[in-house]
Structure 1
């Protein structure tokens, strides 16, 4: 019994390594170019050992996408708790999301470039996650417009699409060894985004009342 327990514990401890290896390989070689054998070799286990955790390479990709969206969901919740008004909630969300994108470029690239290779319910789940992401941004813009924090002519649906497009393009141009840190780029992105929504410029962030 003790041996079985030890093996279970060891398998559980190797899972983060498997996910990390898959992220690196899927990003570097592409989902189609990487194999489970590549993942096993990088982790240092037999290929058969991977099946203690996953049933297929597609399931491994799905887990990466699910974990990435879970982080986005946490940022949504934290943003709503960070301020009392929708514009500052949007500000908090955009900044935190941009920082996460900039510090997790491999994950982000996989989600948007390789996630479409999922099939069936897994693909539908990724699509549903995308709709949730858009809906959250759109709802905050709509609420901020209702409170006259955003220009009345701004279409929340179009604005949300543009905001998401700018976010999703980050992995294509950002370089960690470039001129700006993730925090600096996130700040610039957030300020420019809010400036495009507000007239003439967005008011300074207000701290949530204690």
Structure 2
């Protein structure tokens, strides 16, 4: 089971998926949607390529035009998930004079992303083990960026006196990041609060906890 906050792996080999023509992009999106739904409903091991073909409305042989294996589909689903997360990190302003405020905004966005992609995150948690070592390494390497960004913002907050010098950056980052990324485990779309409202409360609780540590 991988660390959902991310850990830097040793291997960095990156497998190359089958190339697709632009005119086939919509069909590929339907394949990814069907695979995601089936992996969520049945689990990776209990889903066959025939199941995916039937859900999309393709002949099984035609499915292999788009992808070589079920494992590659799983890899594509999880890699797309983490590529979306890269955009959140790219928008962080590390030059701000208010790193805790930036951390709060970052946590709001991660919480929303977690809630909106609960299906893929659930697949990640349960079925990551079915990827080969090279694929696992790439996914985990990409997840490391979340932890690195969190540690960097907390370190900047220490430099500016927004959090106590007693706070261990690594421990704090691991603790709060786990709370943020785990939103998908308990968020319910039909609940009393929207994912946006949950995200704002979640981020405020965590950041205020960091600011209060060692000061009481």
- Same fold judged by TM-score > 0.5? yes
Q: 1-side partners of 2:129 and 2:43: how far apart?
A: 12
1:138-153 correspondence runs (5 A): 138-153=151-166
* Dislocated runs of 4+, deviation >4 Å: 7-10, 81-84
Q: Tell me which residue corresponds to 2:86.
A: 73
Label 1:157 to 1:28 Cα distance change in 2 as closer, same or farther (>3 A): same
Q: Does residue 18 in structure 1 map to residue 28 in structure 2?
A: no
Question: For the aligned residues, what is the CA RMSD?
Answer: 2.0
Give the corresponding residue for 2:10.
Answer: none
Q: Please report how far the alpha carbon of residue 9 of structure 1 lies from its aligned counterpart in structure 2 after TM superposition.
A: 5.3
Partner of 1:95: 108
Query: Where do 1:4-15 residues align within 5 Å?
Result: 8=21, 10-15=23-28
The aligned length equals: 194
Distance 2:171 2:22 in 1: 49
2:186 is the counterpart of 1:173 = yes
Long gaps (5+) in structure 2: 1-19
TM-score (norm 2): 0.83
**Structure 2 counterpart of 1:203:** none
Equivalence for 2:200: 187
Which of 189-198 and 158-167 deviates more? 158-167
The whole-number CA distance in structure 2 between the counterparts of 1:60 and 1:154 is 42
Q: Which TM-score applies when normalising by structure 1? A: 0.85
Greater helix proportion: 1
Q: Report what 2:4 is aligned to.
A: none
